[in-house]
Structure 1
Amino acid sequence: MGNNDNTMQFDLAKDKKDLTKEILTEVYNSLMKKGYNPVNQLVGYLISGDPTYITNYNGARALVRKLERDEILEEVLKSYLGIK
């Protein structure tokens, strides 16, 4: 075991942003592979809360449900506006 005197820093906001992006990318790719319009399907899910807008392919539906819809919208809006 190595001796590491550096203090690790935990950044919850960055981790949440990275996780949201990773999950949305996976879900987007799964929707594309199944022939759906990913943007339309994700918007339908975000507006209605109905998970059937998201395909089960590659576990996409289970993945997207790991995130709260309001948190997804928050991260998408921040990204769109260029807010960190």
Structure 2
Amino acid sequence: MQDRTMTFSLYEDKEDETKKILTQVYDALRHKGYNPINQIVGYILSEDPTYITTYQNARSLVRKLDRDELLRTLVKSYLGE
């Protein structure tokens, strides 16, 4: 019998998935010769998926992400929280 309470966080799983997808999109953009930061920022500001290459399914992957969740993850990462 365990005396400690197990915790479950759906948010942490979602954040991990966001980071994974963003890394894959970044790598695909870089591989195709784009500036990944500029392209991702363009996508976030406009929600226009054409900022993201279709190479390695990057465009489909990034469209799975909620923009608010993506921004939250980026700000949290930048601030080191």
Return the TM-score normalized by structure 2: 0.90
Runs of 4+ in 1 over 2 A off after TM superposition: 5-10
Instruction: Mark the runs of 5 or more structure 2 residues left unpaired by the alignment.
Output: none
**RCO higher in 1 or 2 (8 Å CA, sep ≥ 6)?**
2
Whole-angstrom distance in 1 between the partners of 2:14 and 2:40: 19
Cα shift readout 1:56-82 (whole Å, capped 9, x = no counterpart):
000000000001111100000011111
Instruction: Select 1:74's aligned residue among 54, 72, 75.
Output: 72
Whole-angstrom distance in 2 between the partners of 1:81 and 1:8: 28
Whole-angstrom distance in 2 between the partners of 1:79 and 1:44: 19
Whole-angstrom distance in 2 between the partners of 1:23 and 1:45: 14
Instruction: Mark the runs of 5 or more structure 1 residues left unpaired by the alignment.
Output: none
Classify the secondary structure of the residue corresponding to 1:10.
Answer: coil
Partner of 1:44: 42
Cα shift readout 1:17-59 (whole Å, capped 9, x = no counterpart):
1001000000000001100000000000000110000000000
Two-structure CA RMSD over aligned residues (Å) = 1.5
The alignment-based identity, stated in percent, is 62
Whole-angstrom distance in 2 between the partners of 1:54 and 1:8: 39
